[in-house]
Amino acid sequence: MEKYTSGGVKLLLRVEGFCVLIAACIAYNNISSDWKKFFWLFFLPDISLIGYLVGKNFGAIAYNTLHSYILPISLFLIAYLSNHPQIFPYIIIWAAHIGFDRALGYGLKYASGFNDTHLGKIQGWRTK
């Protein structure tokens, strides 16, 4: 059995990520007009890449923590239930970033290295 997702399933997951990106942009546009904030914060989850300076396993954990939908959805539920809608724009930007990464093929990482993702091996990146 192949370690990575491939074929039509891989394409479906990437299209799904693109749909999340588009939906998040539409949602953001409906609740905020501050697109400067969007662009300034869009790549903030990539700060998790610093984890790879510690090692592959720690890097994968750090990356996956900030590139899974679990935290933004949980934060959305908490913000919604506690009536803190001012947090919604940040959550939407976070979800948009994850969708963007998934659309490009940057999936959740395996501890074997940055290039090894649930969406397949990333080609063209030189890592140790």
Q: Could you report the per-residue pLDDT of 30-82, keeping only the tens digit for each?
A: 998 899 999 999 999 999 999 999 999 999 999 999 999 999 999 999 999 99
Instruction: Note the pLDDT of residue 101.
Output: 97
Strand, coil or helix: 109: strand
Instruction: Note the pLDDT of residue 2.
Output: 54
Which residue has tokens 């679990």? 70
Tokens of 125: 């990146």
Give me the phi and psi of 40, to 5 degrees please: -70, -35
Q: How many CA atoms lie within 13 A of 66 on its CB side?
A: 19
Angle of CA points 13, 18, 20, to nearest 5°: 95
What's the mean pLDDT when you consider all of the chain?
A: 92
Q: Is 84 left (phi over 0), alpha (psi -120 to 50) or beta?
A: beta
Instruction: Note the pLDDT of residue 5.
Output: 77
Please say if the pLDDT value at position 105 is more than 50. yes
Instruction: Note the pLDDT of residue 33.
Output: 81
Whether the Cβ atoms of residue 56 and residue 128 lie closer than 8 Å to each other:
no
Q: Give the strand pairing for 120-121 and 113-117.
A: antiparallel
What's the predicted TM-score (pTM) here?
Answer: 0.91
